[in-house]
Amino acid sequence: MTLLFDPTQLVIELPESLQQQAWSKSQNAATPNSRWQSYLNQLTLDAFIPCATEEQEATVKPWLNSQALANISELINGTAIRLGDARLVLIPSEAEDIEELRLPQEWVDIPEWVADYYLAVQVNIDAGFIRVWGYTTHKQIKNTAIYNPTDRTYTLDDTDLIADLNALWVARELCPEEKTQVAVSPIAAISPTQANNLIQRLGNTEILLPRLAVPFTLWAALLQNSAWRNGLVEKRRGMERVSVLNWLQTEAANLVAEFGWRQVEFQPSTVGARGDTAIAMPHNALAKQLTIAGRPYELKILPIEADTWRFELRSLALGAMIPGGFTLRLLTEDRQGFEGNEDTATTPVEMLYLEVALETGEGLIWEIDPTPEDYQAEVLRF
């Protein structure tokens, strides 16, 4: 239910059930401070999306999957949604003074994170509401906002914001081609060694604000790589990722589910091991459901031999084939290719698959073209 206390500002009630749901989702965060930040971001997201859905015909959904957004929320204030082909970033604050909007630099200067619109959201837990009190565009932030290098934020006065959210809906309807963004400089890549060193250093939870502990260029390079970003969050939470084989050999259902995988049984004889030799391996595989171009697929990881693994992509639609042009790809941890790392369908096929021999402790990243919805690169350890 929405309450309009002011004709130019949107107020959304926060039922106790919604607050409890958001609190439950934020409990994995590493520190009390990051847990509260995650809670405010999750609460804002959960409250705003249903409201926006009622107002808009366009699809409204989180920008990334729940795990990815939770990891970002632990490190950076703010959460992002998709509104049709536009991106909105919600910036929650408990401050009673709503005279300015303070935006973390990450949402403004990391090219992959740049949004079209930024919404200032006041959160009042005690009174049980959030108030969307203004919005602006990326273009206006870059042209008007004051940058503070101390806390790496962009600040806009309330007089520079548009208070009436209806103006945003109207602008999108009447001026869909309006220029809302400006170009930002690309972030220079860092090496896997640099990334691992940063993860080890910033993974120490005694560093309460890792985003301010290193130069922005290094921090942004680490964040924009989803596999490294997830690795940092896992390090801060004290989570050591076990190998895929350990996942299959132990009751790790909750851990596997957190990353979107589940255990499934398979018949080893149907896998087609090298040399058709019977192998005493687990009769479990890992499976992840994907949505690609609006259709359901499943990626499986199956043990073939002690050092050999098979990746399979199949359609979950009854009788459906994988269309021509699809590619299943494996990369090293630093996103490098290697011989035999791709399987491409030149015509419709029943499945795409790759078999790869790996040393203990080696990691791989999987990719699929076209890119699955909510895809986030992840390093799988073998």
Tokens for 23? Answer: 């609190």
Reported as a pLDDT band with limits 50, 70 and 90, residue 354 is: very high
Q: What's the CA gap between 78 and 86, in Å, rounded?
A: 16
User: How large is the average pLDDT for residues 119-123?
Assistant: 96
Q: Please check the confidence at residue 308 and state whether its pLDDT lies above 60.
A: yes
Asked if residue 290 lies in contact with residue 299, where contact means CB atoms within 8 angstroms, the answer is yes
Closest CA to 39 of 20, 56, 55: 20
Reported as a pLDDT band with limits 50, 70 and 90, residue 39 is: very high
Instruction: Please give the pLDDT value at position 240.
Output: 67
Across the chain, mean pLDDT equals 87
Strand ranges inside the chain, DSSP E: 2-6, 9-13, 60-62, 79-83, 86-93, 100-104, 117-124, 129-137, 146-148, 153-157, 262-265, 284-292, 295-305, 308-315, 327-332, 342-344, 351-357, 363-369, 380-381
Reported as a pLDDT band with limits 50, 70 and 90, residue 367 is: very high
3-state secondary structure of 359: coil
Give the model confidence (pLDDT) of 45-86 as tens digits. Answer: 999 999 888 877 778 899 988 888 889 999 999 999 999 889
Instruction: Please give the pLDDT value at position 335.
Output: 76
Instruction: Please give the pLDDT value at position 242.
Output: 60
Q: What's the CA gap between 3 and 208, in Å, rounded?
A: 36
DSSP secondary structure string, 84-132? TTEEEEEEEE--S--SEEEEETHHHHSGGG--SEEEEEEEETTTTEEEE
> Is 341 or 267 the better-scoring residue by pLDDT?
341
Q: Report the CATH number of the 244-381 domain.
A: 2.60.40
Q: What letter does residue 370 receive in the DSSP assignment?
A: S
Instruction: State phi, psi for 48 to the nearest 5 degrees.
Output: -80, -40
User: How large is the average pLDDT for residues 192-201?
Assistant: 91
Domain ranges of the chain: 2-174, 192-236, 244-381
Give the model confidence (pLDDT) of 259-287 as tens digits. Answer: 678 888 776 544 444 444 444 455 788 88
Identify the helix (H) or strand (E) that includes residue 43. helix 32-55
pLDDT above 90: percentage of residues in the chain = 57
pLDDT above 70: percentage of residues in the chain = 89
Instruction: Please give the pLDDT value at position 244.
Output: 73
The CA-CA-CA angle for residues 40, 43, 48, to 5°, reads 120
316: how many CB neighbours lie within 10 A of its CB? 12
Q: What's the CA gap between 55 and 99, in Å, rounded?
A: 26
Q: What's the CA gap between 226 and 333, in Å, rounded?
A: 12
Closest CA to 145 of 192, 197, 202, 107: 107
Least confident of 11-15, 167-171, 264-268: 264-268
pTM for the complete prediction? 0.78
